[in-house]
Amino acid sequence: MRDTTKQPLEDLKEGYFWLDKSIIKGFDKQGNEHKFYRVKIENSLERLDCTKLKSYDNISDVDLASWQDLIELQKEHLTQLEADSLELIKEKMEKFNTYTSIIPVSMGKDSMLTCHLVRKLYPTKAIFNNTSLDCADTYRMVKTFPNCEIMNPEKGFYQYIKEQNIIFNRISRGCCRIFKVGEMVRRLDHNKPYLMWMGMRNEESNTRSGYQDEWVNEAEWGNTCWQGILPIRKWDEIDVWLYTIWKNIEINSKYKKGYSRVGCAVSCPYYTKSTWILDKYWYPTMRNRWENILKEDFIGNSKWLVMNCTVDEYINQAWNGGVFRDEPTEEVIKEYAKYSNLDEKIAAQYFNKYCDNGCKSQSGKLKRIKAKDVIGMNLKYHGRNISKFYCKKCLMKMYNMDEEKWNKQVESFKQSGCDLF
């Protein structure tokens, strides 16, 4: 990994700069924000580029404020935020005085700040939900964190996805429900009222922007009498960091390696290329393991036909999203032909086919035929140069097959060594 910036970055000394959504920025001593560089990651994850955003002869021409300078500038504001949060904690603790109070923690900055504020007033127990995906930095931190129970899942993440033959992504989600919250939901008494102090903030997303002080996670907690409270929901990212530095709250060392989030290392579908390139550098063993899992998943499930991309494009760019491109490139078809032992002309027949009977999916769109076996049955029954294709349901009806007969026929063709399958 290397940067290709024409101007060296030695002037970015520690204690003055912030990396915010791929922008390297700083503040002057009047509190004005200055954006200096944009960080861009190559699709191959092999190179990092930094591009200047504004023309400064030298960054030193800006009277930069250090983190400590900014704390002094914002101290009145931070003190008021602290006071408001502490008042909210007192108010909700009194309102829900019969509830058992706990603090779910991830060892991230927001949950650490929340824990700090709650424990200024009440000696509250913390719970760490072990996703089985956190890095060594997080596990070292949680093992020494006081008054904290670690909840381990019945099955680890890697065991689960292997058994279920699934890769969670932004469209097909579930990993947070199963691994981040699931063990706590399974182990805590649903009939016992719990008061949960959560570190979520309105600024984090459009969904969370509407959250109020009291919040219930109906989707993941289920039918319980639990109540969530959000003491820092009005805090901005910069507020969290300045207060954390000011009050010397413990910081997960993963942040110091360039990460903006610390949970679910390597495989969270909401991470991006800027995270993946850090994974390759800081956690190569974990990253290599995940790349091998992705490659096995892609090849085993013939995802060329679903994603219209190559194996490398899937691993480095596309595994956490939907269809990568509308039509396959020549390279995609060649790679699929190679792995499937097919002539390229035949391999091209497997891509972007729709049922010629006009069948539609549940969304009302024409039904795209994505399964290799279904395309193979079309080619096997109707010839390799056909232009009309049919979905599985239509083929079964056409040849008077039920599910059992279909499966036996497909397996028979596979056992005979037919490359179409």
What tens digit of pLDDT does each residue of 280-327 get?
A: 999 999 999 999 999 999 999 999 999 999 999 999 999 998 889 999
**Across the chain, how many H-helices and E-strands are there?**
17, 12
String of DSSP letters for 282-294: H-HHHHHHHHHHH
| Boundaries of every domain in the chain | 17-65, 69-257, 352-421
287, two tokens: 């990253």
CATH no. for 69-257? 3.40.50.620
163-214 per-position pLDDT tens digit: 999 999 988 888 888 888 988 999 999 999 999 999 999 999 898 999 999 9
Nearest to 160, CA basis, from 182, 139, 140: 182
d(CA 396, CA 394): 5
Q: Give the mean pLDDT of 241-248.
A: 98
Q: Indicate whether 6 pLDDT > 60.
A: no
Q: What is the CA 157 to chain-centroid distance, rounded?
A: 14
Model pLDDT, residue 252: 97
